[in-house]
Amino acid sequence: MEDLHDYKTMRKALMEGEFHMEAVKKVAETMAILHRKTHRKCVSETQFAELVNRFKNDEMLSMMDCAFFTFPLLPYHKTNQYSAEVKAQLPRIYGDQILQENASKIRARHIAMKQCLVHGDFSTEAVMVKKDSANVKIIDPEFAYIGPAAHDVGTLLANYIFSYYSHKLYPTEESPGFYKNLEDAMKTTLSIYLKDLNDYLTPDEIKSTVSDIAGFVGCYIFARIIGRIKTFDMTGRPLSEVKCVDIGIRLLQRCTEITNQQQLLDCIFKS
């Protein structure tokens, strides 16, 4: 067992105003390599079948399906927990047929699409970082399964979005512009990841992946702000919650039209 006493979760580091771009790059590269080396287009049929069997994870997949892709999208489900400010936004979600249809498609992809080995919960809580170092450790792989690559990318981006708007709308006196680091983190992560896809996916497949990433970001945002599983960097920050919900709504309304990096970023950073 490795000693990680000098490490902390990336989420905690970001909450404390610590940022290291080389660590962000390393995380993006690690994700890209994991997906490429296990992608069904990069391994033999026999190897892929072995991966599917080895990483069969029905119990955790069912748990994730309920908590992240079903209950938060059900009108006022008994397990959901949210602030009064977020509650005021819920009719925009539950009354939007296009949003609900797109969310259902993302849920179906989460369950049925088998592309590569995914971590399954690639949040900043699953990334351990060391101050002023590019060394990173990826932990908590209990949700790993063979699924859509966009799931991991969307989860990580959503976590960066939480931190971005937490710092932007509730800045500290010491680092009022810290949120700009998170903007760079999102741009860098997408650039590194999408560039790697060029080695094994067609242009149309990459466009479809970007569209799915947008959808997964939206679903993850709702799960963490409307669902019962909360994220610490948003606690007590209703302005950030409402802003992120607004982004989630836009992404799930438009995910089928979002097919490149710039369109995705524009949707995230739109005022």
Q: How many CA atoms lie within 13 A of 176 on its CB side?
A: 1
Give 176-199 pLDDT, tens digit per residue: 999 999 999 999 999 999 999 999
Q: What is the 3-state secondary structure (H, E, C) of the chain?
A: CCCCCCEEEHHHHHHCCCCCHHHHHHHHHHHHHHHHHHCCCCCCHHHHHHHHHHCCCHHHHHHHHHHHHHHHHCCCCCCCCCCHHHHCCHHHHHCCHHHHHHHHHHHHHHHHCCCEEECCCCCHHHEEEECCCCCEEECCCCCCEEECHHHHHHHHHHHHHHHHHHHHHCCCCCCCCCHHHHHHHHHHHHHHHHHHHCCCCCHHHHHHHHHHHHHHHHHHHHHHHCCCCCCHHHCCCHHHHHHHHHHHHHHHHHHHHCCCHHHHHHHHHCC
pLDDT tens profile 24-70: 999 999 999 999 999 999 999 999 999 999 999 999 999 999 999 99
- Whole-number pLDDT of residue 132: 80
At 97-145, the pLDDT tens digits run 999 999 999 999 999 999 999 999 999 999 999 988 889 999 999 999 9
* Distance from C-alpha of 225 to C-alpha of 242, rounded to nearest angstrom: 9
pLDDT confidence band for 271 (50 / 70 / 90):
low
Confidence class for position 270, pLDDT limits 50, 70, 90: confident
Q: What are the angstrom distances between the C-alpha of 67 and each of 61, 185, 221?
A: 10, 27, 12
**What residue type is assigned to position 181 of the chain?**
N
pTM confidence score: 0.97
DSSP lists the bridge partners of residue 118 as 145
| Other C-beta atoms lying within 10 Å of the C-beta of residue 105 | 16
Quick one: tokens of 44?
């033999």
pLDDT in tens, 211-247: 999 999 999 999 999 999 998 889 899 999 999 999 9
pLDDT of residue 1: 61
For the cut 90, the answer to whether the pLDDT of residue 166 exceeds it is: yes
